[in-house]
Structure 1
Amino acid sequence: MFDLETVGYLTSEQGGAALADIAALPLTDRVADISAVRARYGLRAPALVETTLLRRKAAAKLVDAGGWLFTDEALQQATATAVAEHRAQRLSGRDVHDATCSIGTELGALRVTAASVVGSDLDPVRLKMAQHNLAGTVAVCRADALAPITRDTVVIADPARRSGGRRRFDPRDYTPALDDVLAVYRGRDLVVKCAPGIDFGALGALGFHGEIELTSLQGSVREACLWSGGLAHAGVARRATLLDRGEQLTDAEPDDCGVGPAGRWIVDPDGAVVRAGLVRHYAARHGLWQLDPDIAYLSGDQLPPGVRGFEVLDQLAFSEKRLRQALLGFDVGVLEILVRGVDVDPDALRRRLKLTGTQGCSVVITRIGTGSAARACAFVCRASR
């Protein structure tokens, strides 16, 4: 849909006026609305409608990008503004080259903090979009990320992890492949954005030895960021960054937390903490303990500041019959179910319980113990918010 000629039109005065016109349409009735746009703008209609819809979609992810241009795949992989700004702060004062700059989201944050910044990409359409999006404030050029064009810069790479709308899970299938990126920039200061589900254990075999940072925003783990040795903090191999709370945690901190029965509260740690393997470190920092040494649920008598927790009202050996009886006693009709370590489908369980009460409630179902001593427990709780 998007080619250089189309981008040229969209960035022209005529295209800008057309986009402003279409922005006033609801575009909820795709057939009727697109027909109306086609009647007025002819063959330009698909690109105009797609750009309008992508701008609306981008509003939840990017700040001040209302006039930007996107492709659907580029927007899917674009770094959320808060995440890009966090990374840019870590690179404050450095000369930075974004070697896979795409439509310019990372460059937009880096231009504020970096001593100098340049972007490059192989896709000429995305480069032209980046020039428009950044209003020419950052130099961009066409180049292969695997053919270095800068020296003495920090290199940022964000390999594509989608093809034809499908995710790629093996980092050797990224574009460019992660092992190739690591090999080409070995010995350079390098930052690589990866999917949060990447196999950390395999990174060493691919040539990475540095810090892995897991970043969460609005309750979702957004990415795993690889920081090469020269950029990693001393003694840190794993980091969890919780942007919503302005909290960071690393594996250089103490992890001496205990294991014990549930206290007043159960805490389900942020996904970045869990994914980074820092559950014990988080517990030690906040005076919590584990319910089981192999399960991520924590407990304590006080909640960490700003954290949503679950106040324990009742505890029982898990069975659907026992759980339903307990919930009937609390007049529960709306139920949130959290599960770890037990083979339970929350949605299917909720349907089978057939609750008809008037109160809201949360249930935490988890395994406690191992081997023959393992047992499934259910905690009936009231969420703090």
Structure 2
Amino acid sequence: MEELITKLSNAHGISGSEGNIRTILEEDLKPYVDEMRVDKMGNLIAVKKGEGPSIMLAAHMDEIGLMVKYIDDNGFLKFVKIGGWYDPTLHSQRVIVHTTKGPIPGVIGSKPPHVMKPDDRKKPPEAKDMFIDIGAKDKEDAANMGIIVGTPVSMDREVKKLANGKITGKAFDNRAGCAILIDAMRQIADMDIKATIYAVGTVQEEVGLKGARTSAFGLNPDIAIAIDTTIPGDHPGISKDDSVLDTGKGGVITIADAAGRGIIAAPQVIKWLVETAEKNEIPYQTDVGDGGTTDATAIHLTREGIPSTVISVATRYIHSPVEVLDLADLQSCSDLVAKAALSVNDYF
């Protein structure tokens, strides 16, 4: 799993530009499925055929990033945020600008504090006051490098090991889910599973759950599991009132998120996953959150309704270039997804 998450995280694919990630999923899922296609939205749909209930396993491929809005006369790039950034996180970061001629490095700059007024230094920096410096001489020079309006930009960061089985990197939200999807399908391929499995890499989750909505409508599965990341409460600055979850204590089964405004999972779905985890001695945690939503929110409201929930990895510092997760949690999630597919006929 470490090699898999590293490959996926180090690759780049902001919302709307998921092609690099889709290629990895296509290559890694191919041995474990019967057919594969890309739909009109760009979702990857891999199918393992069966006769039992159909299960949609959805992992979004996109990461939050930036997009070039315009190039000023001096060759600096102004940008908009794609996805949910906390603006100070962007300040002074290295980035990769994905031009029509290939990727080039850049840095996010802003007015230096030395020339700020005292009141300005007390305020957190805002993205509207930042720009990307690629070393261009002027606007024409930047254009000659292949930069156009709409050029996607991602963070320049690679996975590094921390102590005690933890790793840090960018885009674990949701390359962790993609890694789990691949490994779970690897396990499923060796099991006598009756269900039809739709392994779906969805697009544009970070900007409105868009790929999940369209792919679920087309597939109309009997049950769905979104595979994603979630927020733990095990580091300074956050308390158990905010999150009862811990990294390293197993995958997370969502009972409700966004205080029920996102999804409230059907009791039978929770029973299925909890009992499967306990029977197979797979570490797990359960969560009722009041924060964000996932692809499951869009999926469970599709057509006449699809019983759904989320299996996720507790990940520190989500939506930053230095997210942290525990490799053991990745494996727990993968094992739970695979064993749940094996036991689904006992519950549905």
Task: Return the structure number with greater relative CO, CA threshold 8 A, min gap 6.
Answer: 2
Determine if the TM-score, normalized by the shorter chain, exceeds 0.5: no
Structure whose alpha-carbon radius of gyration is higher: 1
Q: Where on the TM-score scale, by shorter chain, does this alignment land: which range?
A: under 0.3
